[in-house]
Amino acid sequence: MNPGKQMIIIRSLVPGCAAQLDGRLEPGDRLISVNDVNLFNATLAEAVQALKGAPNGVVTLRVLKPERFGESSTDGGQVSQVVTFT
């Protein structure tokens, strides 16, 4: 990871928002992209800008999920998932 950069970890979801109602995003998930904006080693400000700058309509989020009980992975305990919201 680059100095000054950080992992963008979802800590909570806004009650009643599309992400919370959908149920696929959970606290602890690591946000790695919004649409085509790579946030893998982004600052919090860059992540906020990507989320606020997403156009109305379909938004695609890519997240890394912590390894869940019974799942195996080959990428250091992370399971990648694409989540699309409208």
Q: Which amino acid is at 55?
A: P
Q: Which two tokens stand for residue 57?
A: 């309509």
CATH of domain 18-85: 2.30.42.10
- 78, 30 Cβ separation under 8 angstroms: yes
Residue-wise pLDDT for 42-57, tens only, equals 999 999 999 999 988 8
pLDDT of residue 41: 87
Global pTM value:
0.70
pLDDT of residue 5: 59
Q: Which two tokens stand for residue 78?
A: 């992370």
For the chain, which residues make up each domain, given as ranges? 18-85
Residue 40: pLDDT band with limits 50, 70, 90: confident
Taking the CA atoms of residue 23, residue 27, residue 31 and residue 34 in that order, the dihedral angle to the nearest 10 degrees is 40
pLDDT of residue 73: 47
Residue 15: pLDDT band with limits 50, 70, 90: very high
